[in-house]
Amino acid sequence: MPSPLTETRTLPELVELVLAEGRDVDLTGAELLVGWENAVIRTADGWIYRFPRLGPESYRRELVILDRLAGTLPVRTPEIAWTGRRAEFAAYRTIVGATADAESLRTAPEEVRLRTAQSLAAFLAAMHSRFEPAERTELGIDRFDPRAMAAELEEALPSLPAAARAGLRTVLDAFRETGLARPEPDPVTLHGDFHFGNLVLDQPTGVVTGVWDFSCVAAGNPSLDLRYLLRDPADLGDLIARCYAEVTGRELDVLRARLAGDLEELTDALTEQRPIGPVLRSALSQL
């Protein structure tokens, strides 16, 4: 998966691709945002032009997934207005809402935190129930297997300093003691990139009203959709797990999710050639 640091296309280059479509667009004041899966032009007049970074197959799959999800979830999702003909990108209106105020959520009264957690859990429950196994196969939705990240870290062990090797072995041992180290017998449909940067609320400490970025949809243990939210200072993981169990009858394993997030953060650090020490210390502090 390409790191955002490897993006070589510039805002003017991507603007040219949009303009080449010959549509009536206003790109005045547009800005470029780059993530692991997509590069996005966000315009002042409320449009998103989303360019895939994982290749055409992933891009086309997301378009089909968005079409099939339309109207089936308890939140707004991107409604594709048009797609590029000369270059592959999708255009849709920005989903308007409030950005979560993580610090305010962390210190908010219990009823406020519970309301937000209930809305997050309701989205996850609905998302997880979409697409039966046969439809996931048809759509090319692969399994998300944390064991691949563990194998990558095992391979990197000999090249790490002694102190880092010892800490990483502790994390990997903890991983092996969870159900993550075994194939998931009853996978659900994961959003795959669920965090406060990919959603909006009705107010900064409110309920979820819109979610985007379905490029990482996968099949796996439902706990895995918590792995990014657990890094957020809002610290709603346990509440979301409780609300999810009330809705679905299925438990979310917060420790399992945290370990998966730690493995991913560690592999990302190696990919970007960042020191893994700070990430490792954070992971060890949670064990």
**Tens digits of residue pLDDT in 213-229:** 999 999 999 999 999 99
Alpha-carbon distance 173 to 227, whole Å? 18
Residue 132: predicted pLDDT: 95
pLDDT beyond 80 at 63: yes
* Residue 194 · residue 229 · CB < 8 Å: yes
* Mean pLDDT, residues 266-284: 90
Q: Is the pTM of this model over 0.85?
A: yes
Q: Where on the phi/psi map is residue 103: left (φ > 0), alpha (ψ -120 to 50), or beta?
A: alpha
> Tell me, which fold does domain 102-285 have in CATH?
Aminoglycoside 3'-phosphotransferase; Chain: A, domain 2 (3.90.1200)
| β-bridge partners, 126 | none
Judged against a pLDDT cut of 90, whether residue 178 lies above it is answered with no
Binned at pLDDT 50, 70 and 90, residue 1 comes out as low
Identify the weakest region by mean pLDDT among 119-123, 239-243, 268-272: 268-272
User: What architecture does CATH give domain 4-93?
Assistant: 2-Layer Sandwich (3.30)
- pLDDT-derived band at 4 (thresholds 50, 70, 90) equals confident
Q: Give the length of the chain.
A: 287
Q: What is the pLDDT of residue 267?
A: 93
Q: Which residues contact 279 (CB under 8 A, 6 or more apart)?
A: 262, 265, 266, 269
Best CA proximity match to 171, nearest among 146, 194, 191: 146
- Of the chain, the percentage scoring pLDDT greater than 90 comes to 82
**Amino acid at site 271:** T
Task: Give Cα 271 to chain centroid, integer Å.
Answer: 18
Half-sphere exposure of 277 (CA within 13 A, CB side): 4
- Domain segments of the chain: what residues? 4-93, 102-285
Mean pLDDT of 278-286: 88
Mean pLDDT, residues 15-22:
97
> Mean pLDDT for the chain?
94
The pLDDT of residue 92 is: 98
Contact between 179 and 221 under an 8 Å Cβ cutoff? The reply is yes
Residue 283 has pLDDT above 80, yes or no: yes
Higher per-residue confidence, 255 vs 49:
49
CB 54 within 8 A of CB 37: yes
- Would you place residue 5 in the very low, low, confident or very high pLDDT band (cuts 50, 70, 90)? confident
Task: Please give the structure tokens belonging to residue 138.
Answer: 């048809």
